């Protein structure tokens, strides 16, 4: 399917594109009244409207199930607000902070853990951005700044270069990491000017690309990713474990291989957070652990992400992958191989 070359932002746009049947009009309108909608033409083109289980549609096309909130779900599911000393900053870990210059995205993932705060027109004022940068200047323990949001690559190259120039002057900041969907959602935005803006920081720059299914890596997306790597900016991936999208070993393995082929190192596989209205995407942790077991040994070590849970309440991420080692140093260990067989290991 080739969609109109515009971003779909209203329920009517989704109906006109054939992505939502009109009998679901009332439910979709209710979702749109609560949460932001945006689906770029690049992503809409990947959807097969004839497939009721299309994994791309499941991520981006609104569904009335998003209004079903569970008791365990929270507007701030990972506790960022408690660690936000000034607007635009989240400081949960000793040596790094999130800097969120805006809360706008090129596309809005329906399962987003920040879905209560992202949306059009939400950006830091110049004064609040200056205060956020002042916070970074005042804390010499901050070694890494992670640009996120929203999606920082929605910023113009000029505005991005301005932020990068401010960070360039902060000596104790050595690493700039950018979290983005733009290479997938709007690959044409990855221009030489944008790449120059990122490198203007003078820091070691890393870009973490959010990808959940191998079909998201279209020809244009692959080219956009290659522009980063060819410019000397390493790429990492972030993937959310989603029921009906990638909760299958073959599908997940194909994604990880596709990422490595694009010179993107698989980094995190996230357990889906307890954001409002997202229960229909979440799998159990045991399911995630079994998927990681299925990847181990059957796919290259380059294809192994770290499975993590962002602990509710602001306590940070912890790895929750499968365990292969049993025993203790006094009695020796039993180590399990990728075929499920156990072997003794005793330190001499």
Among the options 42, 100, 112, 225, which is catalytic? Answer: 112
Would residue 151 show up in a list of annotated catalytic residues for this protein? no
From the candidates 58, 100, 114, 181, which is the catalytic residue? 114
* Whether the Cβ atoms of residue 318 and residue 328 lie closer than 8 Å to each other: no
List 13, 35, 58, 92, catalytic entry: 92
Q: CA 272, CA 66: separation in Å to the nearest integer?
A: 14
331 is catalytic: no
Please say whether the dihedral angle defined by the alpha carbons of residues 317, 321, 326 and 332, taken in this order, is positive or negative: negative
Would you call 114 a catalytic residue per the annotation? yes
Contact 67, 276 (CB under 8 A): no
Which among 24, 96, 122, 227 is annotated as catalytic?
Answer: 96
Q: Write out the two tokens for 241.
A: 């474990």
Active-site residue, selected from the candidate residues 13, 54, 63, 105: 105
Of the candidates 71, 93, 92, the residue with the CA atom closest to the CA atom of residue 80: 92
Q: How many CB atoms lie within 10 A of CB 31?
A: 19
Which of 222, 273, 282, 299 is catalytic? The answer is 273
Q: Token pair for residue 232?
A: 């000397």
Sole residue written with tokens 């996230």: 270
What residues does 271 pair with on adjacent strands? Answer: 241
- Told to judge if 45 belongs to the known catalytic residues of this protein, a careful annotator would answer no
In sequence order, what are the residues at sequence separation of 6 or more whose Cβ sits closer than 8 angstroms to the Cβ of residue 108?
Answer: 35, 36, 37, 38, 39, 60, 115, 118, 119
317 catalytic residue (yes or no): yes
**Which of 159, 267, 317, 324 does the annotation list as catalytic?**
317
Catalytic: 248?
no
Whether 93 is catalytic is yes
Structure tokens at 85: 């000393």
Secondary structure of the chain: what % helix, strand, coil (to 5)?
35, 20, 45
Is 262 a residue of the active site? no
Give me the half-sphere count of Cα atoms (radius 13 Å) on the Cβ side of residue 301: 0
Which H or E element spans position 276?
Answer: none
In the block, tokens 């990492």 appear at 236
From 9, 24, 25, 93, the catalytic residue: 93
What angle do the packed helices 157-168 and 192-199 form, to 10 degrees? 10
Measured CA to CA, the distance from residue 119 to residue 106 in angstroms comes to 10
Residue 92 is a catalytic residue? yes
Query: Which entry of 13, 109, 135, 307 is annotated as an active-site residue?
Result: 109
The partner residues of 334 in beta bridges, in order of sequence, read 326, 344
Our answer to whether residue 112 is catalytic in this structure is yes
Residues carrying an active site annotation: 92-93, 96, 105, 109, 112, 114, 273, 310, 317
């Amino acid at each position: 399917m080739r969609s109109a070359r515009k971003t779909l932002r209203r329920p009517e746009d989704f109906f006109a594109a054939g992505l939502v049947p009109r009998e679901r009009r009332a439910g979709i309108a209710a979702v749109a009244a609560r949460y932001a909608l945006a689906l770029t033409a690049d992503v809409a083109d990947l959807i097969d409207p004839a497939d009721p289980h299309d994994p791309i549609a499941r991520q981006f096309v609104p569904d009335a199930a998003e209004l079903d909130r569970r008791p365990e779900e929270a507007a701030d599911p990972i506790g960022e607000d408690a660690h936000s000393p000034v607007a635009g900053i989240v400081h949960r870990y000793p040596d790094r902070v999130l800097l969120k210059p805006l809360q706008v995205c090129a596309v809005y993932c329906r399962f987003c853990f920040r879905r209560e705060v992202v949306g059009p027109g939400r950006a830091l004022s110049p004064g609040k951005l200056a205060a956020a940068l002042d916070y970074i200047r005042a804390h010499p323990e901050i070694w890494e700044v992670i640009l996120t949001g929203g999606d920082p690559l929605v910023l113009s190259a000029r505005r991005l270069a301005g932020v990068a120039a401010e960070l360039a002057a902060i000596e104790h900041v050595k690493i700039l990491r950018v979290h983005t969907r733009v290479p997938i959602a709007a690959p044409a935005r990855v221009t030489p000017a944008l790449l120059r803006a990122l490198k203007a920081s003078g820091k070691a720059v890393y870009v973490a690309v959010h990808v959940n299914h191998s079909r998201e890596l279209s020809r244009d997306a692959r080219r956009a990713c290659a522009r980063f790597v060819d410019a000397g900016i390493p790429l990492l991936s972030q993937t959310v474990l989603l029921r009906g999208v990638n909760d299958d070993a073959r599908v997940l393995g194909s994604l990880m291989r596709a990422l490595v082929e694009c010179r993107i190192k698989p980094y995190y596989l996230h357990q889906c957070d307890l954001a409002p209205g997202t229960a229909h995407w979440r799998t159990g942790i045991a399911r995630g652990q079994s998927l990681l077991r299925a990847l181990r040994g059957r796919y290259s070590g380059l294809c192994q992400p770290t499975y993590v849970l962002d602990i509710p309440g602001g306590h940070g991420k912890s790895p929750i992958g499968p365990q292969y080692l049993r025993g203790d140093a006094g009695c020796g260990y039993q180590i399990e191989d990728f075929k499920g067989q156990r072997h003794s290991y005793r330190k001499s």
